[in-house]
């Protein structure tokens, strides 16, 4: 195993942070967290309502609207993108996807998606 090049690691960290930073490069861009929180709320509101009324509490009135599988998929995609972003921002670690896999298994790196 090769030793880590600390200068390169710091340069990469600075470049990564610059993608989230304000113009001076000192702080996270204003509004980034609020915009991401709004994005999560937008894509999960119907799912939360459905799970609260039909699954968690069995409300006799039921949900006001149905939730399609495509809406659930879209919400999962949004959440995965944000997990990857904030893992990178907070830890400096890269993730190609939000779902972990067993990389000790020779076939674990392959995923199969049915669309």
Per-domain residue ranges for the chain?
29-97
Computed on alpha carbons and rounded to an integer, the radius of gyration of the chain in Å comes to: 19
Residue 108: pLDDT band (50, 70, 90) is low
pLDDT of residue 80: 92
CA-based nearest residue to 18, from 31, 9, 6, 27:
27
Structure tokens at 100: 């972990």
Please count the helices (runs of H) and the strands (runs of E) in the chain: 3, 0
Per-residue model confidence (pLDDT) at position 36: 94
Q: How far apart are CA 112 and CA 101, in angstroms?
A: 13
Which of these, 100, 97, 82, lies nearest to 44 by C-alpha position? 82
Please provide the average confidence, as pLDDT, over all residues in the chain: 79
Q: pLDDT tens across 31-72, in order?
A: 999 999 999 999 988 888 777 766 666 666 666 667 788 888
How does 54-81 read in b/e, with b if 16+ C-beta sit within 10 Å?
Answer: eeeeeeeeebeeebeeebeeebeebeee
The residue behind tokens 């390169």 is: 8
Q: Tokens 């204003």 — which residue? A: 30
Q: What is the pTM of this model?
A: 0.63
Question: What local confidence, expressed as pLDDT, does residue 26 receive?
Answer: 84
């Amino acid at each position: 195993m090769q030793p880590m090049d600390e200068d390169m690691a710091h340069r990469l960290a600075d470049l990564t942070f610059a993608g989230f930073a304000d113009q001076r490069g000192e702080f996270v861009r204003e509004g980034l967290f609020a915009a991401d929180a709004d994005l999560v709320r937008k894509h999960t509101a119907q799912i939360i309502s459905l799970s609260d009324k039909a699954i968690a509490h069995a409300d006799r009135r039921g949900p006001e609207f149905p939730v399609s599988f495509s809406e659930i998929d879209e919400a999962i995609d949004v959440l995965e993108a944000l997990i990857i972003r904030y893992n990178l921002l907070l830890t400096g670690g890269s993730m190609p996807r939000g779902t972990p896999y067993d990389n000790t298994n020779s076939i674990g790196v392959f995923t199969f998606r049915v669309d």
